[in-house]
């Protein structure tokens, strides 16, 4: 299963470009879903403290028998724990649940500008990184403004920004900013959280290639350079979403998908105002 390309995050850390997300996977179903994904060949798993399923992700990892250095595990710091000391404690709690000695990627889940703790939080991230407890550190749902402010005071630049990104909300400007600053782009809600599966433009492309619309969307993410982490609890879909390395979208397909972009296409919360803790 060596066919998933890697994206470099730092000089010595690379993330598989296709991974498996577990948002809204109930804890009771998480171990089985992650075990299925690992059997299919996924090696990167994306969870978060707030998902409430880190322990079950850890159990699936432990029982998989897969060598630790073949896996890439991401978790995220929840908003209520932002701040220097609270971040260090929250990291320990996540690691205990995951049953890991070292994490591959730790993300600030949301900037929550209203509370304005993300600079202190980042100092704790830099300490965890310097201490070797996490191999790479990044952010999620940061806008250009949040990223610039962070980089202005940071010693370590965020390696990645995980943001809502799908054919209806393509984030071209933010992606260009990432490229300019050497920050990888990771797409959450890569299938539009299921809302784009019947889109006629995507259906036409899918038909042309004899694929599903989900596969077309995942292929699009891969071809434009995103790290992508589709979620499914359905074994056949988990498998299907991984079978995307034996076809390619052509220029016409990419142009058609580019035309679906809509500046009002956001499905999730707006990071400039989201303040749930
Ligand atoms: N950083 C953040 O703030 C943030 C926010 C949201 C998500 N995320 C991360 O991103 C990951 C992916 O995003 P997401 O879970 O929100 O949405 P998504 O991956 O875009 O969509 C998931 C939905 O699509 C369905 N689906 C998946 N594959 C399919 C297929 N081949 N055919 C038909 N339906 C399919 C799933 O159904 P079934 O499960 O029923 O099969 C589920 O309803 C999350 O799991 C999480 O790790 C991060």
| Residue 232 Cβ < 6 Å to ligand 1 | yes
188 lines ligand 1 (CB under 6 A): yes
Mean pLDDT value across the chain: 98
Any ligand 1 atom below 6 A from CB of 141: yes
Going from the Cα of 177 to the center of ligand 1, the distance in angstroms, rounded, reads 25
- Ligand 1, pocket-test mutation among 109, 230, 235, most atoms within 8 A of CB: 230
| CA proximity to 125, closest of 114, 117, 136 | 136
Minimal-distance CA residue to ligand 1 atom 39: 232
8 Å CB contact between 57 and 25: no
Q: Is 8 helix (H, G, I), strand (E, B) or coil?
A: strand
For 15-28, write each residue's pLDDT tens digit: 999 999 999 999 99
> 3-state SS of 22-50?
CCCCCHHHHHHHHHHHHHHCCCEEECCHH
Is pLDDT at 1 greater than 90 in this prediction?
Answer: no
Q: Is 42 a catalytic residue?
A: no
Binned at pLDDT 50, 70 and 90, residue 244 comes out as very high
CA–CA separation, 138 and 180 (whole Å): 16
Identify the CATH homologous superfamily for domain 6-258.
NADP-dependent oxidoreductase domain (3.20.20.100)
Task: Please report the pLDDT score of residue 3 as a whole number.
Answer: 84
Model confidence at 98, pLDDT cuts 50, 70, 90, reads very high
With a cut of 60, say whether residue 210 has pLDDT above it.
yes
Strand 6-8 with 14-16, pairing: antiparallel
Checking if the pLDDT of 99 tops 90, the result is: yes
The best mutation among 16, 18, 21, 227 to test binding of ligand 1, ranked by most ligand atoms within 8 Å of the C-beta, falls on 21
Report domain extents, the chain: 6-258
């Amino acid at each position: 299963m060596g066919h998933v390309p890697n994206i470099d995050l730092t000089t010595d850390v690379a993330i598989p470009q296709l991974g498996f997300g577990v948002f809204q996977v109930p804890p009771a179903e998480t171990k089985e879903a992650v075990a299925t994904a690992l059997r299919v060949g996924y090696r990167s798993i994306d969870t978060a403290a707030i998902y409430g399923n880190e322990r079950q992700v850890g159990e699936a990892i432990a029982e998989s028998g897969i060598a630790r250095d073949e896996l890439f595990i991401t978790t995220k710091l929840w908003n209520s724990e932002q701040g220097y000391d609270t971040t260090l404690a929250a990291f320990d709690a996540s690691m205990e649940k995951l049953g890991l000695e070292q994490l591959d990627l730790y993300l600030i889940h949301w900037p929550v500008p209203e509370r304005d703790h993300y600079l202190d939080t980042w100092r704790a991230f830099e300490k965890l990184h310097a201490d070797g407890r996490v191999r790479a550190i990044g952010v999620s749902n940061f806008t250009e403004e949040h990223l610039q402010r962070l980089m202005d005071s940071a010693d370590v630049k965020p390696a990645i920004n995980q943001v809502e990104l799908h054919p209806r909300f393509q984030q071209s400007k933010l992606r260009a900013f990432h490229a300019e600053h050497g920050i990888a782009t990771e797409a959450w809600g890569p299938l539009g959280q299921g809302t784009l599966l019947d889109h006629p433009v995507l259906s036409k492309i899918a038909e042309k290639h004899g694929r599903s619309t989900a596969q077309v969307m995942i292929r699009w993410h891969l071809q434009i350079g995103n790290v992508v982490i589709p979620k499914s609890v359905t074994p056949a879909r988990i498998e299907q979403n991984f079978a995307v390395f034996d076809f390619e979208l052509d220029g016409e397909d990419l142009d058609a998908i580019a035309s679906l972009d809509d500046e009002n296409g956001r499905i999730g919360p707006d990071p400039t105002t989201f303040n749930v803790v």
